[in-house]
Structure 1
Amino acid sequence: MDGLKTSVRQKALVDTLEGIYRQYHQRAYVHPDPLEFLYAWEDVKEREIVGLVAACLAYGRVVQILKSVAVILEAIGPSPRRFITRSTLKTMSQTFSGFRHRFADGDQMAALLYGAGRVVRQFGSLENGLAAGLTPDR
């Protein structure tokens, strides 16, 4: 009998959470989260690069975060994936020269994206690169 009560409560909780998810999982509720930048790209392989930039700069005041992410995305152009896979570290450092987000500077952003480009060239995507590091039991 207790198992039945638990099952009913679990289903009620799941139904409640699913309702909240359906209500709020809408693009209109994303702003001012830096993930709003992902909507500009349909290709998931472009989005993962944009998501990396947004996530790595998501500290501090939200207004400044949005400005910093916009500055980087404008600098890398219409294809973040192409930029990170075809640019040299030197070119990236030049591209981000003068960039600063709190304690992160342009050279650090260049190093991050250069490293991401190496992962993408080797594994095809950031997702594949991360997955390659997992063991079968994980």
Structure 2
Amino acid sequence: MTLPRLKHNPNLFKGLLDPLIERYHRPAYLDSDPLGIAHEWKDPRDQEIVAIFSALLAYGNAQIIRRTLRALFDRFQGTGTRPSEWIKQYEKDPDATLQNLREEWNGIFYRFNSTGDLVLLFELIARSTLKFGSVGEHFLRFYDPNKPGSLEESWSAFIEDWSNDARELKRPGLKGFRYLLTSPKDGSACKRWVMLLRWMGRRDEIDLGLWMEGGLLVHSRPLCSADLFMPIDTHTGRITQYIGILKRKQYNWKAVLEVTEFFKKLEPNDPILYDFALARLGILDLCQKRYRVEICQTCSLLPACQFAKKQRAL
């Protein structure tokens, strides 16, 4: 099977990608992903809060991210309360609730983000929930599935709202917080928000689908899976380059659109179906930056892998 044939026949690519779905798109692999933490909560209101934290802190090593999330949310479980109950407490007494959170989360931080950043993130989630009913309703208030580009527009407006709110609240020493607020306007890959949209805009045994029709948290403008974007990070970016899907060298918003358009040819109604499975190859170290016979020869993507072809020629 030659690469030109694959490029011009998406169905041939499906034949290489579908075995990954069968093998890795399974709940057993949620323990390798930050999303698995959100699955530990059953109430959709709790899941939304935990999922937002899980997605926005998803930079770096997956297991370290999960440990940080556990440190945050084990504190809720330890006090016998749920994240959504803290929002009710915030509504009654914002200052006392935030002070309690600072004390509960004292000493917890993750890379660029301090305890103060995490408390501010909770405060913005609480404000959106109290004003709009859920963060999803706020995020999607300008979304129209019949209008191309409206998801990006609604997303950018949401980030602008949160940025303005963060400035108005005037919390001290929060330089790292800006790192959490990205949108397509920035031109970056926005991997963490794109990934959150996948979690909220798909529904199966992996993804939560909380912002879809019937997802309980969004009623006015539910999110359609066909409008989602492929998350591009160090794993999916490298692998899609290896198999000839991504031509660009930089992992930016144009790269996201390029890869998404390819996958729309395979699954028009669910273009990011393959994301979780592809990411497992990188997260589980099953696609390395060198040719390994014991790994590469068993990979269903080998016929399309330009990297393996070059490595074997050396």
> TM-score with structure 2 length normalisation?
0.37
Confirm whether residue 113 of structure 1 aligns to residue 125 of structure 2. no
Distance 1:133 1:95 in 2: 36
Q: 1:86 aligns with which of 80, 85, 89?
A: 89
- CA offsets, 1:68-123, max 9 Å, x none? 10011112334211223423333322322222212211111000001101111111
Distance 1:22 1:122 in 2: 41
Number of equivalent positions: 133
Shift, 1:10, TM fit: 4.7
Distance 1:18 1:11 in 2: 10
SS of the aligned residue for 2:59 comes to: coil
SS of the aligned residue for 1:104 comes to: coil
Distance 1:75 1:82 in 2: 13
Report the residue type matching 1:100 in the other structure: F
Distance 1:65 1:118, change over 3 A: same
Shift, 1:21, TM fit: 2.7
Confirm whether residue 50 of structure 1 aligns to residue 50 of structure 2. yes
Distance 1:82 1:116 in 2: 13
Q: How does 1:13-92 map to 2 (within 5 A)?
A: 13=13, 17=17, 20-77=20-77, 78-87=81-90, 88=94, 89-92=98-101
Distance 1:15 1:71, change over 3 A: same
Distance 1:76 1:84, change over 3 A: farther
Distance 1:133 1:17, change over 3 A: same
Identity %: 23
> Is the 1:92–1:114 Cα contact (8 Å) retained in structure 2?
no
- Structure 2: give runs of 5+ residues left out of the alignment: 1-8, 151-314
SS of the aligned residue for 1:97 comes to: coil
Give RMSD over aligned pairs. Answer: 2.7
Distance 1:124 1:15 in 2: 42
> Is the 1:46–1:81 Cα contact (8 Å) retained in structure 2?
yes
Report the residue type matching 1:110 in the other structure: V
TM superposition outliers: structure 1 runs of 4+ over 6 Å: none
> TM-score with structure 1 length normalisation?
0.77
